[in-house]
Amino acid sequence: MQVVERLSVAPTKTFRVGPLRLTARMLQIAIEIGVLGGSFGLAYLLRFDFSLPPDEVPSMFIQAAFVVAIQTIALRSSGAHRFIWRYTSTRDARVIAIALASVCTLLLGIRFVHFAFPQSVVVPMSIAILDLFIAFVGILGVRMARREVYERSRRLHSEQLERKPVILVGAGQAGVMTLAEIKRRGDIDIDVKAFVDDDPSKHGANINGVRVAGSISDLPHLVNKLGIDHVIISIAQASRSEFRNILNICQEIPIKVRTIPGLYELLQGNVTVSRIRNIEIEDLLGREAVDIARDDLDEFLRGKTVMVTGAGGSIGSELVRQLSRSGTERLVLVERSEPALFQIEQELLSASSQAKVDAVVADITDRERMNNLFLRFQPHVVFHAAAHKHVPLMENNPSEALKNNVLGTNLVADLAGRHDCDAFVLISSDKAVCPTSVMGATKRLAELVIQHMDRKYDTRFVAVRFGNVIGSNGSVIPTFREQIKRGGPVTVTHPEMTRYFMTIPEASQLVLQAGAIGNGGDIMILDMGKPVKILDLARETIKLSGLRPDEDIEIKFTGMRPGEKLSESLSSDAEELLRTVHPKIFVGKISVHPGLRVPRILDEIPRLCSVDDQQDIRYCISQWLPESDLGNKVMPNRPPAVRRIGLSGAHSVAA
């Protein structure tokens, strides 16, 4: 239903002018031609001081037809005819001015080569210049008049709304944009009473009729004085500390706080500043915008075919969104979840993706299917985001974790090498560092596979390691929200548990950048900032829901689940981090396992999975990865089943 609504065509408005029926576009063209003709006639009258000699009248009409025709062509060529009159802006004025100035330049140029043109179309210099200014005022004037009529009708309609008095926090560019859009639109039930800003130079200034009344610390006084309903943070790039400071002040007043979309959303054109929303926990965890080296990305992606596995997941789908705007020629979306794939495909289609999009339902462990996809699409770059990622689930399904995360990675990476891809980028995890879970261990094995493939093929293989992303499927924040919606309790495994957090767009941007600058065999590590206590996260989420922790909503400690750590690390103590050209991306100098070890591990995994004995899988992983902490989970005094089925290589591999 939603797709049908987007594709439906609104009925065209028609107007009756005498016996004629004109569409809105036809009427606009007629008005413009009339204005251009009238402007030229007025310029002629001004040139002759409103005493036009009779012998000049024929020349005036011939020249008017010639000039109006050229001006109409110039305006259409500039795209000015596509601008909606009721939304006329300074950008429209600039385009119109350039189009008309180019016509004036042409008319003046004709005077210097007048012998090549009929004398009747050679326009006097004074008339050409006068016409430029009169036509510009006329064309822009009728558009502004249409905008004024539209805004007046919206204002009359909006007077029926009960407006809520608000204060905008931040009188910078985002604040000015927010105020302008609120004033322009008549369907927003907001009345901006004042700005506050911590920049003293702005205090007392008047912005579009609204005064900057003080700093953020003055909010309690201003809220009471002006009878404010709620406060809106109009800072497009507010840091975590700024959000917390404003939120703390407003909670003490107390008063509700809302915000405009973040800088990333605004720059991508996904939303407008008037899409005012409640503060989310993502705002408190958000960090500064990522600076991207566009030259590196252009060289890496522009004009190329890019395959993304796991394209329907949290990271995969955001990678796809950003790749669709990066100059990529073709995007191949590989996903085995049909609903997830359909959703991201429809999103790209409705957003008019710059790249050609091919959505493919496929399992990355199916060699024949994946090989056919590589033969069909011949991708230049592969981003491998497909993986099983839920720690507790994989503890109970270790054979599936090995098949998908290790064998699947090996299969796709091997095909990328065989088909001469330029680059292969693996999405790894901080849980691969000294893994205590099956999921973390399989991601570490996937990293070893990548390094092995880099020695085997000319393709540049890179792994990117980072921590939790905010709001990903099945992550802690959506879980907290669901628990709060049900009335609690909010469950936290341990009061001291901490995790690194990064927004999905930030992580995806850095993955693209890391893929562009990483050398073959590198394990790139993203700067995740400072770790956050999960208990603090739970309390903040409850507060932002308008409730009180431990009073309205209980916080319950459930104990650590199998495979979990109290805290994660992006590198082990034995690993050295080297800086790259990007301040948020590092290269982990991680010891590479012997070249013969990885193939033997890969040979053992299918036979190990066929037995599907959890204890034996953990035992073998602990032998393959001595740095892991899975060995103590194996039942004591139990001979591994690998000996019974002849998997003697499992022991020799670890030697």
Q: How far apart are CA 395 and CA 439, in angstroms?
A: 7
R_g of the chain, CA atoms, integer Å: 32
Q: At what angle do helices 438-456 and 614-624 cross, to 10 degrees?
A: 50
Residue at token pair 């020799």: 652
Residue pair 217/201 in contact (Cβ under 8 Å)? The answer is no
Q: How far apart are CA 33 and CA 221, in angstroms?
A: 57
Indicate the SS3 state at residue 47: helix
Q: Which of 257, 287, 319 has its CA nearest to residue 472?
A: 319
Count of residues for the chain? 655
Q: How far apart are CA 439 and CA 497, in angstroms?
A: 19
Name 505's Cβ contacts closer than 8 Å, sequence gap at least 6.
264, 318, 322
Q: How far apart are CA 470 and CA 507, in angstroms?
A: 10
Q: How far apart are CA 101 and CA 128, in angstroms?
A: 10
Which helix or strand (DSSP H or E) is residue 191 part of? strand 190-196
- From 202, 304, 431, 443, active-site residue: 431
Residue pair 209/261 in contact (Cβ under 8 Å)? The answer is no
Which helix or strand (DSSP H or E) is residue 4 part of? helix 2-7
Residue pair 385/427 in contact (Cβ under 8 Å)? The answer is yes
CA angle 271, 275, 280 (to 5 degrees): 100
**C-alpha 251 chain-centroid distance:** 30
Which helix or strand (DSSP H or E) is residue 256 part of? strand 256-259
| Peptide linkage before 489 cis (omega within 30 of 0) | yes
Residue pair 609/626 in contact (Cβ under 8 Å)? The answer is no
Q: How far apart are CA 53 and CA 69, in angstroms?
A: 24
> How far, CA to CA in Å, does 377 sit from each of 307, 381, 516?
9, 11, 21
What is the torsional sign of CA 192, 198, 202, 205?
positive
Active site residue 584: no
**C-alpha 237 chain-centroid distance:** 14
3-state helix, strand, coil in the chain (%, to 5): 50, 15, 35
Residue pair 462/450 in contact (Cβ under 8 Å)? The answer is yes
Q: How far apart are CA 611 and CA 617, in angstroms?
A: 9
Q: How far apart are CA 186 and CA 73, in angstroms?
A: 35
- Which positions are catalytic? 431
